[in-house]
Structure 1
Amino acid sequence: MPKGKIYLAAGISGLLAVAGIAPQSFAANETVTVVLPEEPPSLEPCESKHSSVGRVLIQNITEPLTVIDPQTGKVKPELATSWEQTAPDTWRFHLREGVKFSDGAPFDARAVVASIERLQRGDMTCNTKQQTLGGVDVQTTIVSDYVVDFKTNKPIPIFPTMMTVVQMSSPNMKLEGASRRPIGTGPYVLTAWNAGTDITVERRDDYWGEKPVVAGARYVWRSESALRAAMVATGEADLTPIISVADANNPETDLAYPNGETTRLRISTNVPPLDDKRVRLALNLAIDREGLKVLFGEEAKLAEQLVGPNVNGFNPDIQPFPYDPEKAKQLLAEAKADGVPVDKAITIIGRNEIYVNAGEALEAMRAMWSEVGLNTQIRMFDTGNWLRYQNRPFPEPDMANLHQDQHDNLLGDATFTAFNKYDSEGVNSAVYDKRVDDLIAKAEPATGETRTKAFQEAFKLLHDDIVADVYMYHMIGYTRVSPRLDWRPSLATNSEIDLSEIRFQASE
């Protein structure tokens, strides 16, 4: 072993000891340990769009009706075998027969109806509903045991794509709050959740599909990137989906991948002083985004809209804001002269470990804003409390704030971003502009060039005229994978870790 690696191992052992983590051997050759950045707030199927939930649930415990082929981007069957549009507002789905949930309940039309009811429930706000079916109400009708009709309140030409993120759950699951006991049709079943410690899943013997190689998985969580990387390096864990660029220092185990996320700070556009466009523009011009890349990797791309180039509706003509602190100072001086309270405190709502170096980035941005005369303060939250500020009704609606956010659109169409994030009725939106609403309403039922151009116009309006966000980056992810695994990250890795894709390297 090279000398440098001896020193590295010694440093890692000390780090583990300080954290109070005892080294462990693997429970079995066919099980894996995954170390996550945070503990999931729940394992609620209708909350699977939260990455902390989806990494455990999706394709492991729960499955959708349809999936996206990563090679072609086309919709493929999963729990549905086929579908057709029978009217502008109606889709008929034919279901796979012979499938059972892990509690023994049959997967049939009744189960699909229950899953859609769970998605649209009234006792909680499901993020899958917000981000995928924002503004869309769905009525289900049982045609036969294995045929279901979906009727929407408006024509949805990409409805089969929407269904790729709606997880099917057992009709026996209670509709009371966010579940910690998910029951799905997937190849694994939840066997334990030791709060604050770990989650374990085991492979089902009665799974309807191909038997995965991995017999089970243990999920643990550590907030520090260096510690997650260390755990994989020492064999304490097999993989971690996200580490910092600084910790991705071993080319034999560390892999970079485009993770589909775009980062931003959402601006409360109707609260003084942020209701003045000059202040919102100054916030953007004061940030040295190129300089901040040191925290995220040089491969990160400056963002100018909340979707990436792979999404239908991305506008290639929008240019990122330049770094121009002198212009920012000038705009703030003009606003102040007109009576805008530019000295008023602006609160930054941050989330612990929303992405690597998230806290460090906020501190650096706060310092840059201070240099141009803005008064900002940071409040960091865990996921559950951060969500209170993400979703309407906002808990402090009169507070001038910047809400730290990241958003992935892996389904390839701007509808999965635009309504939820920017429509006046969107549950995450802090924008109230009829022009944006009209463009979204024009795009959603349309196809082809009409659809694309309407979304492109909306994103240009949001960037150039409204200045709805402090735009940050189209992100790159870094992961560390044990040499014992044959597995590589993909565009979906930030949102899900499909255990059935993991193989083990042959023993030497």
Structure 2
Amino acid sequence: MISGKLTCSNIAKFGDAKLTLTPVDRLTVEIKSDRPEPIMPTLLSVVMIVSPKTPVDQAVNDPVGTGPFTLSTFSPQTVVLDAFDGYWGNKPQVTKATYVWRPESSIRAAMVETGEADLTPSIAIQDASNPETDFAYLNSETTAIRIDAAEPPLDDLRVRKALNLAIDWEGLAQLFGDDVKRASQMVVSGINGHDDALEPWSYDPEKAKKLIEEARAAGVAVDTEIKLIGRNGIYPNGAEAMEAMMTMWQDAGLNVKLTMLDVADWLRYLQKPFPAERGPNLLQMMHDNNKGDAAFTVPSFYRSSGSYSTLADPAFDKQIDEALAATGEARTNSFKAIFGKARNEVVADIPMFHMIGYTRVGTRLEWKPDITTNSEIPLANIAIKD
């Protein structure tokens, strides 16, 4: 995974750390980092083990694993998993699982209601209408817009602040439910480094317009077209949120145009190397950190070398590196300072909401969602009612 020959976004969690791996015996490997990594075991928990026989020049759908299921068939529309008879652990009740993709929340909810499907995660609030089958859950997702701070006019701090101030946050929240929480930073409460005292941006359209006019008077080309890049199906009511935000930014005096992309095209803008022709852009994102530490967020988004970062700030890089090497209370306070700087001084993003998820579960299943549901639903945790 560290050879650079295979693409692995999770290895990016290590930032610029250089890892040296030495086999000790059949079941032991020694891993050394060229800098302190206080949470090395947690970082390693997200790194996938890949067979050395995996081709590096083509995508494959032939996974190698040790779990209770095997991949039976795969297509862009349907995936089928079968139970693995030779599994070493307790065998789950589920013996076969078929996954189908339906982007429309209402259609997925109806499929569960009629028995055509057993479970659908992440339905829209307007479709979560049956208290017997529909469950709300606090997930670990934070929705946000990344600002490409390297591209004018977004390289001007006044414009980046105006983008945050121009949004009617109370009105936008109606798309996501009464329990959704405004975000001031890219991690949820409970993650080491989250700062409960950090206030979200308020709605101040007049101040937003004033900042844009100040930038214009200083020679910033604020009339330049800014591309708002949304991702189809990223979360329920995601496209509606982008349309509303685009309108609010236009009302503030910015030339923002929305483009909705499928995942493959959207990823080109999310991860480095960014498209050379990208121009000024705002990118719809949803970030999941349920690992307990801000190290799974900060380097990727704010370090100059971060796979999602549009920043180039050596002083901020140094501050981040010091936080990553720290332990205990010093680590917590260092990450809090980083989120404060990201919010107040750098303004590299537009934090939106810490999300509440809604899922519909068929009546024959014994299963409830939890904070990890948006990332994974282990089939072994699903029971079939008698």
TM-score of the superposition, structure 2-length normalised? 0.97
Code of the aligned partner of 2:162: A
Q: Which residue in the other structure is 2:42 paired with?
A: 161
Alpha-carbon offset, residue 135 of structure 1: 2.2
For 2:168 and 2:201, locate their aligned partners in 1 and report how far apart those are by CA, in whole Å. Answer: 10
Alpha-carbon offset, residue 265 of structure 1: 0.6
Aligned counterpart in structure 1 of residue 374 of structure 2, from 489, 494, 500 = 494
Q: Which runs of structure 2 are paired with 1:307-318 in the superposition (5 Å)?
A: 307-318=187-198
Q: Which runs of structure 2 are paired with 1:217-236 in the superposition (5 Å)?
A: 217-236=97-116
For 2:5 and 2:265, locate their aligned partners in 1 and report how far apart those are by CA, in whole Å. Answer: 17
Asked if the contact 2:78–2:99 (Cα under 8 Å) also holds between the matched residues in 1, the reply is: yes
Asked if the contact 1:168–1:185 (Cα under 8 Å) also holds between the matched residues in 2, the reply is: no
Q: Which runs of structure 2 are paired with 1:387-426 in the superposition (5 Å)?
A: 387-396=267-276, 399-426=279-306
Q: Which residue in the other structure is 1:329 paired with?
A: 209
Q: Which residue in the other structure is 1:62 paired with?
A: none
Asked if the contact 2:143–2:286 (Cα under 8 Å) also holds between the matched residues in 1, the reply is: yes
Q: Which runs of structure 2 are paired with 1:167-182 in the superposition (5 Å)?
A: 167-182=48-63
SS in 1 for 2:29: strand
Q: Which residue in the other structure is 1:139 paired with?
A: 20
Code of the aligned partner of 1:436: F
Q: Which residue in the other structure is 2:79 paired with?
A: 199
Answer yes or no: is 1:367 the counterpart of 2:218.
no
Aligned counterpart in structure 1 of residue 31 of structure 2, from 150, 161, 176 = 150
For 2:290 and 2:353, locate their aligned partners in 1 and report how far apart those are by CA, in whole Å. Answer: 16
For 1:156 and 1:346, locate their aligned partners in 2 and report how far apart those are by CA, in whole Å. Answer: 39
Code of the aligned partner of 2:274: F
For 2:278 and 2:113, locate their aligned partners in 1 and report how far apart those are by CA, in whole Å. Answer: 47
Coordinate RMSD, CA, aligned: 1.3
Structure 1 range deviating more: 385-394 or 434-443: 434-443
Asked if the contact 1:170–1:184 (Cα under 8 Å) also holds between the matched residues in 2, the reply is: no
Code of the aligned partner of 2:279: M
For 1:339 and 1:164, locate their aligned partners in 2 and report how far apart those are by CA, in whole Å. Answer: 49
Code of the aligned partner of 1:176: D
SS in 2 for 1:444: helix
Q: Deviations over 1:432-461 (max 9, x none)?
A: 222321121111111011111111111100
Q: Which residue in the other structure is 2:158 paired with?
A: 278
Q: Deviations over 1:30-52 (max 9, x none)?
A: xxxxxxxxxxxxxxxxxxxxxxx
Q: Which residue in the other structure is 2:131 paired with?
A: 251
Q: Which runs of structure 2 are paired with 1:324-363 in the superposition (5 Å)?
A: 324-363=204-243
* Cα distance, 1:397–1:316 mapped onto 2, change above 3 Å: farther
For 1:476 and 1:434, locate their aligned partners in 2 and report how far apart those are by CA, in whole Å. Answer: 36
Q: Which residue in the other structure is 2:167 paired with?
A: 287
Q: Which residue in the other structure is 2:263 paired with?
A: 383
Answer yes or no: is 1:120 the counterpart of 2:120.
no
Alpha-carbon offset, residue 179 of structure 1: 2.5
Answer yes or no: is 1:212 the counterpart of 2:92.
yes
Alpha-carbon offset, residue 340 of structure 1: 0.7
Q: Deviations over 1:219-241 (max 9, x none)?
A: 10001000111111111111011
For 1:426 and 1:177, locate their aligned partners in 2 and report how far apart those are by CA, in whole Å. Answer: 25
Answer yes or no: is 1:440 the counterpart of 2:334.
no
Alpha-carbon offset, residue 483 of structure 1: 0.8
Structure of larger gyration radius: 1
SS in 2 for 1:295: coil
SS in 1 for 2:142: strand
TM-score of the superposition, structure 1-length normalised? 0.74
Alpha-carbon offset, residue 474 of structure 1: 0.6
For 1:228 and 1:137, locate their aligned partners in 2 and report how far apart those are by CA, in whole Å. Answer: 45
Q: Deviations over 1:73-110 (max 9, x none)?
A: xxxxxxxxxxxxxxxxxxxxxxxxxxxxxxxxxxxxxx
For 1:414 and 1:230, locate their aligned partners in 2 and report how far apart those are by CA, in whole Å. Answer: 38
SS in 1 for 2:260: strand
Alpha-carbon offset, residue 398 of structure 1: 5.7
Code of the aligned partner of 2:49: M
Answer yes or no: is 1:183 the counterpart of 2:64.
yes
SS in 2 for 1:270: coil
Structure 1 range deviating more: 354-363 or 195-204: 195-204
* Cα distance, 1:469–1:397 mapped onto 2, change above 3 Å: farther
Code of the aligned partner of 2:14: L
Asked if the contact 1:439–1:455 (Cα under 8 Å) also holds between the matched residues in 2, the reply is: no
Code of the aligned partner of 1:149: E
Code of the aligned partner of 1:120: I
SS in 1 for 2:264: helix
Asked if the contact 2:269–2:278 (Cα under 8 Å) also holds between the matched residues in 1, the reply is: no
Code of the aligned partner of 1:200: V
* Cα distance, 1:249–1:267 mapped onto 2, change above 3 Å: same
For 1:352 and 1:315, locate their aligned partners in 2 and report how far apart those are by CA, in whole Å. Answer: 31
For 1:324 and 1:394, locate their aligned partners in 2 and report how far apart those are by CA, in whole Å. Answer: 32
Code of the aligned partner of 1:164: S
Seq. identity, %: 48
Alpha-carbon offset, residue 185 of structure 1: 0.7
Q: Deviations over 1:112-160 (max 9, x none)?
A: xxxxxxx234345321112x32223322211111111111221211111
Q: Deviations over 1:48-87 (max 9, x none)?
A: xxxxxxxxxxxxxxxxxxxxxxxxxxxxxxxxxxxxxxxx
Structure 1 range deviating more: 136-145 or 247-256: 136-145
Asked if the contact 1:173–1:183 (Cα under 8 Å) also holds between the matched residues in 2, the reply is: no
Q: Deviations over 1:167-197 (max 9, x none)?
A: 333444333333211111111000101x233
SS in 2 for 1:191: strand
For 1:200 and 1:295, locate their aligned partners in 2 and report how far apart those are by CA, in whole Å. Answer: 33
